[in-house]
Structure 1
Amino acid sequence: MSARELFSFRNPYFSVSVGITAAVFLLTALLGFIVLPYAQPELKFTDLWDAICSAAGLPRRSPSSPAPKPTHPLSEVVLTPTTLAHPSQESIGRGATLAQRCAICHGPTGISRADSPNLAGQYVAVIYKQLLDFRSRARTNAVMSPFAANLSDQDIADLAAYYAYLPRLPAYHPEPQLPRPRIVINGAPVRGIAPCGSCHGSLDNKTGSPWLEGQSKVYLKEQLQAFASGQRTNDINQQMRNIARALTPQEIDEAAAYYASQPPDIVKATD
């Protein structure tokens, strides 16, 4: 039998092989691009094409909820892993003096007794960036914006060095009392959401991403909601805005509660 006859639809074996291959391809595409996306209960699609794009890893956006346009100036702070990496003792001392004005909200030791963020042990680059953003109004707050407006570059570096020098609250996640939320540990790959711990973890931290352990649940929820609504716009490359918009209210609540958990003796000590 010649090659032309072998690869001809007149050859029943060739025809059957092509038919089986095509059927397997179509079945695989149907399962992967249509059935599996609709099987995810947390996903909502506007139409069939939206589900196919999601399964293919293409960015999708509902036409009924376009991304909000930023209403504030964007952050122009450039961070590297070496930003303020080795502050001097003099800088830390100057920061301690300046921090006396911050104690009413952030606590005398950097641990807040209200719902302001804890600054003790926070990464130096995080405090440095946020203060610069408050000063430039890339991030706004009724208290912090006026306060940061009068800070010099050296003041901001000194405050960041001092608070980073203080001991931070540890991670506290006893199981099974506090099960680990899936969004924190595994993320949601189908929706393009990386695990929170990949940037905010104790072992792996992305430069500019804050230490979240022990922060107030109220504060964490407010910030995630601000990113989702576009009220806060000083995240690098819109990463947090993109993630927060894709989170469900339940996921926001679970992530905030997970990071806010602390031992009872520490909670009582800060009351």
Structure 2
Amino acid sequence: MNDGGLFSFRNPHFRISVGLTLGLLMLTALTGFVVLPYAQRELEFAGLWDAICSAAGLSRDTVPVASVKPAPVPTSKVVLTAATMARPGQQSIGRGATLAQRCAICHGPTGISRADAPNLAGQYGAVIYKQLEDFRSGARTNAVMSPFAVNLSDQDIVDLAAYYAYLPRLPAYHPGPQLQPTRIVVYGAPSRGIAPCGACHGSLDNKPGSPWLEGQSAVYLKAQLEAFASGQRRNDISAQMRNVARAMTAREIDEAAAYYASQPSEVINAAE
């Protein structure tokens, strides 16, 4: 067989080889100049020719897609010190009493809620101050509280906190059998990084800015623990409550909420 016959299109083997080579070349070009450029999500092309030019290193009308960064979620910037809300004046308490008339529909005329809103009578002034500041800044959100707090002045927040802290803690409106403290409340779960609830919320100790929980609604307490666990609520500055709530089981959340709801509020004046 001579060379002319070997490389002739009359030779079926030559035709097949040339066809496979051209097909592979076209497939490679299509992949490299069209498919791969369009697979780059960070670029947009004006057309097919623009994509081919970009793949060849001759970018013409490529438009970088602006990377959309999620807006930072605000978190609490309140700094609590020993002087926060210390010894409020009578004028401040009086102004707070006037402002609190708008709060009575949810929190009760004496600071004791008949709904599932938190009881505020006798709550630590620093706690109410921080939460109102967080509602106003957006660090904590609520369909009712956020629109209300956004219009409060700095002095309004101080006065409301002073007034509710001045009120005596009255028995809660949520009656029920008094439960024994659960393991998560007294001992926590050290293996999961959960401190005892009482280490921050009373009984064992009280951390500045941590509310007392006795007598609060079980529905409210459970909702807040679940919000911390899901990240929906994130105004705990060091994420301590989020970390604790995420590590708690659903049963532990139910038990802790039920225990605190069953406890009688101690009749004292928190401002003293």
TM-score w.r.t. structure 1 length?
0.68
* Residues 86-139 of structure 1 deviation map (CA, whole Å, 9 limit, x = unaligned): 100110000000000000000000000100000001000000000000000100
Is the 1:70–1:230 contact (alpha carbons within 8 Å) kept by the matching residues of 2? no
Q: Is the 8 A contact 2:123 2:212 kept in 1?
A: yes
| 1:159 corresponding residue in structure 2 | 160
Which residue in the other structure is 2:120 paired with?
119
State the Cα deviation string for residues 54-95 of structure 1 (Å, max 9, x = none). xxxxxxxxxxxxxxx997311111111221111001100000
SS in 1 for 2:114: coil
Structure 1 segment 166-177 matched on structure 2, within 5 A: 166-169=167-170
Partners in 2 of 1:231 and 1:195 — Cα distance?
23
Deviations 1:122-166 (A, max 9, x none): 000000000000000100000000000100000000000000111
User: Which is greater in Rg?
Assistant: 2
What is the identity percentage for the equivalent residue pairs of Structure 1 and Structure 2? 81
Structure 2: unaligned runs, 5 residues or longer: 1-69, 265-272
Aligned to 1:241: 242
Question: Given the superposition, is the C-alpha separation of residues 170 and 185 from structure 1 closer, same or farther in structure 2, using an over 3 Å criterion?
Answer: farther
| 3-state SS of paired residue (2:221) | helix
**Is the alpha carbon distance of 1:159 and 1:177 closer, same or farther for their aligned partners in structure 2, counting shifts above 3 Å?**
closer
Equivalent AA in structure 1 for residue 260 of structure 2: Y
Which residue is 1:186 aligned to? 187
Q: Contact conserved, 1:169 with 1:213, CA < 8 A, in 2?
A: no
Aligned to 2:222: 221
Letter in 1 for 2:208: T
Contact (CA 8 Å) 2:216, 2:260: kept in 1 or not? Answer: yes
- Answering whether residue 132 of structure 2 is matched by residue 131 of structure 1, we say yes
Distance 1:146 1:258 in 2: 32
Displacement of 1:192 in angstroms is 1.1
CA contact 1:228–1:244 (8 Å) conserved in 2: yes
Distance of 2:79 and 2:161 partners within structure 1: 15
Matches of 2:217 and 2:178 in 1, distance apart? 19
SS of alignment partner, residue 238 of structure 2:
helix
| Equivalence for 1:258 | 259
Report the Cα offset of residue 178 of structure 1: 1.9
User: 1:104 maps to which residue?
Assistant: 105
Structure 2 Cα separation of the partners of residues 87 and 218 of structure 1: 32
After TM superposition, give the deviation of residue 236 of structure 1 in Å.
Answer: 2.2
- Aligned-pair distance for 1:237? 0.3
TM-score, structure 2 as length reference: 0.67
Once superposed, which parts of structure 1, at least 4 consecutive aligned residues long, lie more than 3 Å away? Answer: 69-72
| Worse-superposed segment, 200-209 or 108-117 | 200-209
Q: Is the 8 A contact 1:170 1:213 kept in 2?
A: no
Inter-partner Cα distance in structure 1 for 2:72 and 2:221: 21
Give the aligned residue type for 2:143. Answer: A
| Distance apart, 1:179 and its partner CA | 2.2
Aligned partners of 1:115, 1:92: CA distance in 2, in Å? Answer: 25
What's 2:210 paired with? 209
> Per the alignment, do residues 189 and 169 of structure 1 end up closer, same or farther by CA in structure 2, a change over 3 Å counting?
farther
Aligned length: 192
**Are the equivalent residues in 2 in contact too, given 1:70–1:233 (CA < 8 A)?**
no
Q: Secondary structure at the match of 1:219?
A: helix
C-alpha contact (below 8 Å) 2:129/2:157 kept by paired residues:
yes
Unmatched 5+ residue regions in structure 1?
1-68, 264-271
Matches within 5 A, 1:51-70: none
Conserved in 1, the CA contact under 8 Å of 2:179 and 2:263? no
Query: How far is 1:177 from its partner?
Result: 6.1
Which residue is equivalent to 1:8? none
**Structure 1 pair 202/161, CA: closer, same or farther in 2 (3 Å)?**
farther
More helix by share: 1
Aligned to 1:150: 151
